[in-house]
Copies of this chain bind each other. A is one copy, B any other.
Amino acid sequence: MSNATFSEIAQALREHNSFIIMSHVRPDGDAIGSQLALGHALEEMGKTVHYINEDGLPENLAFLPHSDRIVQPQGEELDVEVAIALDCATKPRLGDNALKAASKAKLWINMDHHKSNPGYGDLNFIDSSSPATGQILYNFITAEGLPLSDVTRDSIYVAVSTDTGSFQYSGTTVETYEMAADLVRRGLDVGGINAKTYDSHPYRRVELTRRLLNTLEMADDGRLADWRLVYKTQEELGLKPEDSEGLIDMIRAIQGVEIAVFFEELQDGQIRVSMRSKNKAVDVCEVAKMFGGGGHTLAAGIRTEGTLEGVREQVLAELRKRLDACA
């Protein structure tokens, strides 16, 4: 797979009139922000745009302008010429209903920053050196002189800010900060948009944090931290999938902790395990694989049958073994 050029992609956008724009299931800020950023540029060019996401718009991103246009596919086949997949590493991760909605498209465009993206479009632009798909879109839109409306500006900022942990992660580049400077120059309300992005949680998320902290256990001289969530608590608090997003960072950030683990009982009785490692010598992906899961060296997950306590005991025993081996 080789990348198309920005001008080839821009040409394709100009030559067509109807578009479906999609992103990955369980969408985050970069997914939704990218959909809105490019979609609104197309609308400003007079095109018809359908914003489809398999799981719809998460409540915590509903502050984004124009986000009410993001809808869940209802099993219909949309009459569109072009399908655009953004920030989505594989085609199946767009979701079955979204794929059905896009099935009449004659041309597929695929823009992403995930290294593992195989390039499933007719025109692909994959740049894993970019910390967010939103940053690729900023480069694309400014290079090709496409419209950069207030909606596009705010959406790009939120896409990049959320995917870089507010300009903190190692993928953040000179271009990322220069882009932010330019967006402020274009009128972005920095204080306002960040307050909406980061300083506005439903009460249930704080209550969830409290419940989780009350189950926190430290082992192996503080090198291993874990907390857990039973399904009953999720029901009681009326939790949504995005409510627990990022909370594991709170225990990963404890000084001395090398492995942080989150055990969660799901509605179907399965157990989900999220693991984070700060020690490259302890590959949590290897442990995940032993239980049928997968991921990366420093961040991996499992979804398995069993009881919360049973799975917890087994996984922690395996992690302790590996921690002790590199003590």
A residues engaging B (CB < 8 A)? 165-178, 180-181, 184-185, 189-192, 194-195, 198-203, 206, 209-210, 213-214, 216, 218, 222, 249-256
Contact call B198/A253, Cβ cutoff below 8 A: yes
| The residue from B185, B191, B251, B256 contacting A172, defined by CB atoms under 8 A apart | B191
Cα A254 to Cα B175 with chains together (Å)? 33
Report, nearest first, the 5 A-B pairs whose CB atoms are least far apart: A170-B191, A168-B194, A177-B181, A210-B213, A177-B180
Partner of A222, one of B181, B200, B203, B216: B203
Known: A181-B181, A214-B210. A200 touches B253 (CB 8 A): yes
Residue of B nearest to A213 (CB): B210
The minimal Cβ–Cβ distance linking A256 to chain B, given in whole angstroms, is 7
Give the docked Cα–Cα distance between A177 and B174 (Å).
9
Q: Is the CB of A214 within 8 A of B214?
A: yes
Q: In the complex, are the beta carbons of A255 and B168 less than 8 A apart?
A: no
- CA gap between A176 and B200 in the complex, in Å: 24
Contact B185 A174 (CB under 8 A): yes
**CB-defined contacts of A255 to chain B, threshold 8 Å:** 200-203
- Other-chain contact of A199, B167, B185, B222, B252 (Cβ < 8 Å): B252
In the bound complex, CA of A198 to CA of B189 (Å): 24
Q: How many copies does the complex hold?
A: 2
Q: Is B200 touching A206 in the complex (CB atoms < 8 A)?
A: no
Kindly provide the distance from the CB of A189 to the nearest chain B CB, expressed in whole angstroms.
8
Contact B213 A192 (CB under 8 A): no
Contact A192 to B167, CB < 8 A, known contacts A201-B255, A255-B202: no
Chain B contacts for A206, CB-based, 8 A: 213, 216, 250-251, 254
Residues of B contacting A254 with CB < 8 Å?
201-203, 206
Q: How far is the CA of A194 from the CA of B185 in the complex (A)?
A: 25
Query: Which chain B residues lie closer than 8 Å to A200 at the CB level?
Result: 253, 255
Min CB distance, A161 to chain B, in Å?
8
The residue on B at minimum CB distance from A222 is B203
Docked CA distance A213–B203 (Å): 12
Q: Nearest Cβ in chain B — how far from A299, in angstroms?
A: 14
Residue of B with least CB distance to A256: B203
- Nearest CB to that of A189 among chain B residues? B170
Q: How far is the CB of A248 from chain B (nearest CB, A)?
A: 12
A214 to chain B, nearest CB (A): 7
Q: Which residues of B contact A190 (CB under 8 A)?
A: 167-170, 172
State A199–B249 Cα separation when bound (angstroms). 8
Taking the closest CB of chain B, its distance from the CB of A221, in whole angstroms, is 11
> Closest residue to A257 on the B side, CB-wise?
B203
